[in-house]
Amino acid sequence: MSAQPDIRTLSDEDLEQALVDLGEKPFRARQVSEWLWTHAAGSFEEMTSLGKGLREKLDASFSLGRIDQVEAQYSRDGTVKCAFQIDGDAHRVVEGVLIPTTKRLTACISSQVGCSLACKFCATGKLKLLKNLTSGEMFDQVQMLNEMAHERQGKGLSNIVYMGMGEPLLNYRNVLESVDRITGTPGLAMSPKRITVSTAGIAKAIRRLGDDEVKFNLALSLHAANDEKRNHIMAINETNNLAVLAEALQHFHGKTGTRPTFEFIVFKDFNDGLQDARELADFCRNVPCKINLIEYNPIDGGEFEQTTPQRLDDFVALLEDRNLIVNVRRSRGKDIDAACGQLVNKNAAGVQAPRK
């Protein structure tokens, strides 16, 4: 890595001051930002509307490193999983997924290299946490997947979900900065209502999202609506139990007016019974919400199996009888391990990084 500061970590105000310190006019900051966030320049030399002297000053003062796409896998259903290398380090790789459906083109991006939460149903949870991604590194995933969407589908992304590797709310500042770049001008000018940030349940950070009055959507990876079962599969619940989460979600909804989505993977003979559905329905009384039921995608060494169609149908019927909004999400990209919970950190040789 370069010893020079990464120019994309500067705020707009800091960038303007840095350019003034280099003897430039303040308006140059807007021009540089357009190259960084709208045109996704990979070097200062590409900034051809700037004079050579300014480009040389920038090159001498800052680094400009983007992530590298090192691999792409293509599913039979059109899903594409990309491996992105961070900092030129073969052991720092994250995965992003382009998911096409008849109505949407979604980019699923990562917020951390690895993860510290160790949820039992998630392949990423078997890895150690190596790095919080910068706002620029998350922006790059979106920008590159957007380019791929144009090339393969003839149109750009319609939605972005922070549901890849890592826990976004443990990288709070950088995630929100990346959303600002994706939704801003200079930037990709996407609507924040097309963006969903998913969390395993960091109550303090959920409250903070409310206080910050964010405009994007929030999804909670719930997966069980009683503390004993949730403790078993998600250790984070031991310090962020359902009562604490309910209060945080109420605060979030009260501040933003946004209805959270509860993500619920249905595991065979674990959380797929009618009592589990009743507990979920009861939890949904805490806040206006939507429910996404997700089929389980097996991982190496996992202890769970996918529920049966009949039990899933019965589960859905009970929730709908309670007048709840329920969607059943069918996983895509399973043949390339790109489905929910299957993303893992691999280096260029395909070797999984160990968890310590």
Residue 337, φ and ψ in degrees, nearest 5? 55, 40
Catalytic pick from 95, 167, 263, 295? 95
- Omega before 186 within 30 of 0, i.e. cis: yes
Cα separation of 173 and 116, whole Å?
17
Q: Which two structure tokens, joined as six digits, stand for 98? A: 């382009």
Euclidean distance between CA atoms 300 and 21, whole angstroms: 54
User: 12 by DSSP, 3-state: which?
Assistant: helix
- What phi and psi values does residue 113 have, to the nearest 5 degrees? -90, 110
Report the number of secondary-structure helices (H) and strands (E) in the chain.
Answer: 10, 12
Helix H or strand E segment including 246: helix 242-256
- Helix (H, G, I), strand (E, B), or coil: what is residue 261? strand
Query: What whole-number distance in Å separates Cα of residue 252 and Cα of residue 211?
Result: 7
Distance CA 249, CA 233 (A): 21
Evaluate the CA torsion angle 326, 288, 119, 83 in order and state its sign: positive
- Could you say which of 82, 115, 122, 340 is catalytic? 340
Largest separation between any pair of C-alpha atoms in the chain: 70
Q: Look up 284 and say whether it is catalytic.
A: no
Place of tokens 């045109």: 39
Query: Catalytic: 115?
Result: no
Give the Cα separation of 195 and 132 in Å (integer). 20
CA nearest neighbour of 271 among 220, 317, 228, 218: 228
Nearest CA to 15 out of 351, 24, 272 is that of 24
- Could you tell me where the beta strands, DSSP code E, fall in 75-185? 80-86, 89-100, 105-108, 112-113, 131-132, 159-162
Tell me the C-alpha distance between 73 and 298, whole Å: 18
Catalytic residues: 95, 340
